Structure 1
């Protein structure tokens, strides 16, 4: 038996169907021969006829929608803009800061690991790139009540009466029911003055209230933002800090690199272990002192008379406290 198709109905009509309905002999309808007239009866055609039809359709123009690939070398046409596909994300929120940011990092909270239930929340440290060095800031930002994106489908537009065979989702667990709660995101933030643009921001993994920044003024700063995190926990979406709660300056600064840099990484194995690299090829290691502060040593220095080779990035080993990789 061939494939089922409606396109072969004009070729396979019987002689009786070709006769006008008014000229056909009337037949008495009984319970055994009740029928309805379908203007497009489904019939069967042979496989070779289907292949002929498919070959004819190969030459037809078809519009293929593809995602834009920045590596393809095809620039956007004048007036062409990229649009986000909301179906690609479970959650998506966007905001516009006062100044551009070159680096940010997440601050660990105490709400647990591998959270999957909505709504979500996060705390982040963001460094600015302002037009003047004295206009820069280190912003501590909290976003809460981040709900799942609701993408309108055809079933939502047409309603249940147009899709009666759809499975009932009312028996799903409580997690799915929480996902559909409509919430407005809450944004709270406090800013700390930071002289110079922030090239890199990294939070200590063992004690994330300690935030390190690389300034384009050639200094590395350490900030303690514990008072701001406490305000977030106490405010419950309405955190208000007094001028005494926000740190006015870093509790430790280092300016012996001689130039600015971008490479900055905390050791995930040794608490307080820090490595910094500058644009002249030098790597410095930081060791915390028991009495407070840091002992910083020049671990590696460029020994070439040629143009300096910048240390673009640093990464500590996740399991060995004496292994460090540089780029």
Structure 2
């Protein structure tokens, strides 16, 4: 919090002061929007950006942009907002006992009593149905990918109970849009899309390990596993590996997609994207302090810009 500004009733601890939900949303809707993390939009960005990567790379691959692609981009944005909200609601339903024991999460709507479990289930189903309506406007391949995405989304909240690598399951869920958007444009899932997907998973391991360090002490007390706890003081070294994996796999995906259709200039511009993204990840590494929760949250949120960097280069390459 900044200064002595009053805290809105029900505000979640890690939401930014003055966010639109706590400031402008109708009072009755605030608990549900908080449940969907609408007051913390970074998650929507992190779910959406791989979708836009996949779409841009698919267009670069076949060199055939269509007006339909504009709707795919918009539909992915709406769908990312809805499915991120549904996924977060599911996560809070399954984690309600744990969230009440962790300082950062005990103010969430379910453990704080703003929303009942039954109300949360209804809200989750409603968001899923709205997202399904968007999905059904895409082709059959994309619809199939959308349905399959429910598997990693369903499993993720339980991963921290049985593996030290729950961030992999988050990566599987959060980067599925790279496959879906590629399929929405091409009607199939190609090798470049798979490599892009793997790149996104490495990126998720990078940013969510940073995020998980905020709860490392509480997680140890209640027996929750994470890469932050697994790596401990060796986190910086592991993050370097994830950085290299992110950049290398994205570079390979671009080369595989661009050849032989794209021009040399377009290929060079597109490849500059993961290179610049790598420098942004390196900047995060230089500022890493696993004992400073405010800094950890700042670095985590910076990953919206990290993901947008290669997207900008890909879009420029499409014009060449």
Larger helix percent:
2
Q: TM-score range by the shorter chain?
A: under 0.3
Larger strand percent:
1
Considering only CA atoms, is the larger Rg found in Structure 1 or Structure 2?
1
- What's the TM-score, normalizing by structure 1? 0.26
Instruction: Give the structure, 1 or 2, with the largest relative contact order (CA under 8 Å, sep 6 or more).
Output: 2
